[in-house]
Amino acid sequence: MSHLLDDTDLAILNHLQEHGRAQRNTIAELVNLSVPSVSERMKKLEERGLIEGYKAILNSKKFHFDITAFIFVQVDGSENYQSFVERAAEEREILECHSITGDGSHFLKVRTKNTGSFESLLSRIQAWEGVSKTRSNLVLSSFKETRSLPVEHAVELIKK
């Protein structure tokens, strides 16, 4: 199996990033292939782990999750690292957890319903074993939020 992507694969990936619910016949028309050919390519992209899944993106405001915040967390000692990551994974309001360099050891993206629920979440995090410091930034407004990748720049994967 080739580890390279061609222009057709890139077109499929780009289309799926913007239109995850696209029907295969629509994609087939876009890339000028048959539906079975598109299905086979998508299956191979999934098997290679290039496509991790298909999800609905919910409008947080419509569900009254009005607070988006970023929290820098300092976790002391590597002995607390794994338990911190596990606890972060259990909290539904924590959308992302990243191990970082610089100021802090972890960076969290959270969404909560209001300042009260944010305060409660922050208190829980601060009580976790090994957490010695937090610094929070509340988002006032967002202008761009995406998980779409510029796959056409993945030169090492593209078949020339």
Q: pTM for this one?
A: 0.83
Beta strands in 51-121 (DSSP E): 67-75, 94-99, 106-112
* Strands 131-138 and 67-75, bridge-based pairing: antiparallel
The ranges assigned to domains in the chain are 7-56, 67-138
Specify the fold of 67-138.
Alpha-Beta Plaits (3.30.70)
Distance between CA atoms of 74 and 143, rounded to whole angstroms? 28
CATH for the stretch 7-56: 1.10.10.10
Q: Tens of pLDDT along 44-94?
A: 999 999 999 998 889 999 999 999 999 999 999 889 999 999 999 999 999
Question: Mapped to the 3 state alphabet, what secondary structure does 118-142 carry?
Answer: HHHHHHHHHHCCCEEEEEEEECCCC
User: What single DSSP character describes residue 108?
Assistant: E
User: What pLDDT shows up at residue 2?
Assistant: 52
Res. 155: pLDDT tops 60: no
Rounded to the nearest integer, the mean pLDDT of the chain is: 92
